[in-house]
């Protein structure tokens, strides 16, 4: 009986751990990103100081979208961090703030480019691109 309870407890911990704190986003070499995620359709360049302020206000996750000349960012609950969504159904791209911070560290440049590609949004700093974000909606949890 003791072994069964221990096993159930371990399974419970694994389930709780995997459902919270999930890392969203992966960093690739920019050349790989260009080859595998398609050409950049539009982009906005942002100063890293401004981006870091957004990250501080976002919490664990941040979601991005861009329009003609500006960046819009929401936190994991779709609350505005910078700019606003046009509607509650507008698609933003969710990623872990820790991955964005890692991109800034690895890239080493003072500006980051937020890019719309045919089917996704990416962030590029230096020779590195962050992708593998979750579109919200439909994946907002």
CATH code of the domain containing 78: 3.10.150
Give the chain's domain count.
1
For residue 85, give every residue at least 6 positions away whose Cβ sits within 8 Å of its Cβ, in sequence order, or none.
65, 72, 74, 78, 92
- Mean model confidence pLDDT for the chain: 86
| φ, ψ of residue 32 in degrees (nearest 5) | -60, -45
Residue 65: which domain range?
24-136
- With 0-12 / 13-18 / 19 or more C-beta atoms within 10 angstroms meaning exposed / middle / buried, residue 84 is exposed
**Does residue 75 lie within any of the structural domains?**
yes
Is 12 contained in some domain? no
Q: How confident is the model at residue 69, as a pLDDT?
A: 82
CA 60 to CA 64: how far, in whole Å? Answer: 14
Asked if the model's pLDDT at residue 86 lies above 80, the reply is: yes
pLDDT of residue 19: 39
Q: Which two tokens stand for residue 109?
A: 């440049």
Whether residue 39 lies inside any domain: the answer is yes
**Any domain includes 107:** yes
């Amino acid at each position: 009986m003791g072994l069964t309870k221990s096993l159930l407890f371990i399974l419970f911990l694994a389930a709780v751990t995997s459902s919270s704190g999930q890392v969203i986003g992966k960093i690739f070499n920019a050349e790989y990103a260009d080859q595998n995620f398609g050409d950049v359709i539009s982009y906005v360049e942002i100063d890293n100081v401004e981006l870091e302020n957004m990250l501080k206000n976002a919490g664990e996750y941040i979601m991005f979208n861009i329009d003609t000349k500006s960046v819009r960012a929401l936190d994991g609950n779709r609350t505005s961090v910078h700019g606003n969504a046009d509607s509650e159904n507008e698609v933003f791209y969710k990623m872990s703030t820790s991955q964005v911070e890692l991109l800034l560290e690895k890239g080493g440049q003072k500006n980051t480019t937020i890019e719309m590609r045919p089917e996704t949004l990416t962030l590029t700093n230096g020779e590195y691109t962050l992708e593998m974000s979750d579109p919200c909606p439909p994946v907002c949890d």
